[in-house]
Chain A
Amino acid sequence: MTALLDIDQLLNELETGLRQVLADRGVDQPALIGIRTGGVWLADVLSKRLGLDEPFGELDISFYRDDFSRIGLNPRVKPSSLPFDTEGRDVILIDDVIMSGRTIRAAMNEIFDYGRPASIILATLIDLGARELPVQPDVVGRTLALEAHQRVKLRGPDPLHIELQEAGH
């Protein structure tokens, strides 16, 4: 499993996949947005790898989460920051792990409050399946099927690495 989760290998997959999708869609000036916290670290790395000059955006979805009515407000909310106008832009949205799809739904709702993008490309480092909403990434670093007692987490930002946790019995 450790070999499967080599961060450089997964980043290569993500970069190659993104270049392919951008070429297929004819997008040459994408706006990059990472979802806090892991997605922001990845946006930082991919922005350099893809040679994007424009600063990337950081999204904190705490005000858009659908579990507010169950657990209340995340006390560690930070301001979102989109240093560009999203209106009419082709956006690459990045997160570290996708599972239920609820985070991505919340992130897309938030992005639309800034303006109407021309398109959104979704990239995630790891796809764990177990979707609860019809949201699918366009580019994935690695698809994993975890055992019930296993958890995966991106740690960072320096060095960036993937941690596989085995929950106790």
Chain B
Amino acid sequence: MTANDPSPHHLQLTRDGQLRHFLTLDGLSRDLLTDILDTADSFIEVGERTIKKVPLLRGRTVVNLFFESSTRTRSTFELAAKRLSADVLNLDISTSATSKGESLSDTLLNLEAMASDMFVVRHSQSGAPHFIAESVTPGVAIINAGDGRHAHPTQAMLDMLTIRQHKGGFEGLKVAIVGDVLHSRVARSQIRALNVLGVAEVRVIAPGTLLPKDVESLGCTVHYDMAEGMKDLDVVIMLRLQNERMEGALLPSEREFYRLYGLNRDKLALAHPDCIVMHPGPINRGVEIESAVADGPQSVILNQVTNGIAIRMAVMSMAMGGQLAERQRTQTQGGQV
């Protein structure tokens, strides 16, 4: 690889293998994912202190660029940036400049002119954060906060952190992802992360209409029958039914879906007795999951939210660190020429 090689696999990494953007889990090694989890563990400790702040991003400007609405992801990214001592700007673009006709490129040029150091991007178009990372000024880090049906890498990593906390590791685990895999960027990133980190088995449990074509090629087995898919599970991850993304009749009815694929106490009883229950939120009670399960002793749904802050602190500080180290190298080399 040459110094200026912009090949997509290396867009996320510096020449030294440090993270500089966080767009997708594709192409990232098990070692790097483990580094992210370990760093997040240290940030969990920071979140338990009297003063929940460290000075890593002091004087840096982080722009939350949300082209699609979000409550949990945006607020945990904001809190993560603030706990790293960054200055944070929240832009809800769906109600802003683009509605006045400004193009994405022009919006970005204006934000770069404000000396931003990092963009956290959510967009309904797959690949938008990647596009921005390719065109942004060198030295500015891009973090993907969810793009179309493509990826939601910080969500997948906070799920991995939650699994590791409760199970001690990944070896030998049987994990199932249940529900609307077709519309889920979270599921794609999760399947990738689980395979890279080396679980024993990844299953998807869903009706055929809610599965992407060739889903097995992502690295999972398919179960149409939930009772069968729940057997011996260590982790069950429920997905939100994304009604807003559904076009046409993919489902007979919500009630029918709940009967077949909703997680209730009876179905959970088929899994391993200490199987944990996860959900990226927001949950639709009585559509994907019974309240008694969502609030029950096996649920770790609120742990996921807490871990979301730590994972985002880890990814933001690692990517910013990579960018700063690269800026430093460029300056030093420039001085020598």
Q: Which residues of A approach B to under 8 Å, CB–CB?
A: 60, 62-64, 68-73, 75-81, 109, 113-115
Mask: chain B, 32-72; 1 = CB below 8 Å from A; 0 = not: 00010011011011100111011110000000000000000
Among A62, A71, A109, A115, the residue within 8 A (CB) of B42 is A62
Q: How far in angstroms is the closest Cβ of chain A from B311?
A: 14
Residues of B within 8 A of A115 (CB): 50
Among B39, B56, B324, the residue within 8 A (CB) of A75 is B39
- Chain B interface residue count, CB cutoff 8 Å, equals 23
**B interface, by DSSP: helix, strand, loop or mixed?**
helix
**Is B330 on the interface with A (CB-CB < 8 A)?**
no
**Is B321 on the interface with A (CB-CB < 8 A)?**
yes
Residues of B within 8 A of A64 (CB): 54-55
**Is B238 on the interface with A (CB-CB < 8 A)?**
no
Instruction: Give bound CA distance, A15 to B321, whole Å.
Output: 39
Q: Which residues of B approach A to under 8 Å, CB–CB?
A: 18, 35, 38-39, 41-42, 44-46, 49-51, 53-56, 317-318, 321-322, 324-325, 328
The 7 A-B pairs with the shortest beta carbon distances in the complex, nearest first, are: A72-B321, A79-B45, A63-B54, A73-B321, A72-B325, A113-B51, A79-B42
A68 and B56 contacting across the interface, CB-CB below 8 Å: yes
Q: How far in angstroms is the closest Cβ of chain A from B22?
A: 13
Residues of B within 8 A of A60 (CB): 42
Residues of B within 8 A of A62 (CB): 42
A113 and B53 contacting across the interface, CB-CB below 8 Å: yes
Beyond the given A73-B317, A109-B55, please list 11 additional residue pairs across the A-B interface where CB-CB is below 8 A. A68-B321, A70-B325, A73-B39, A73-B56, A76-B38, A77-B39, A78-B38, A79-B42, A79-B44, A79-B45, A113-B53
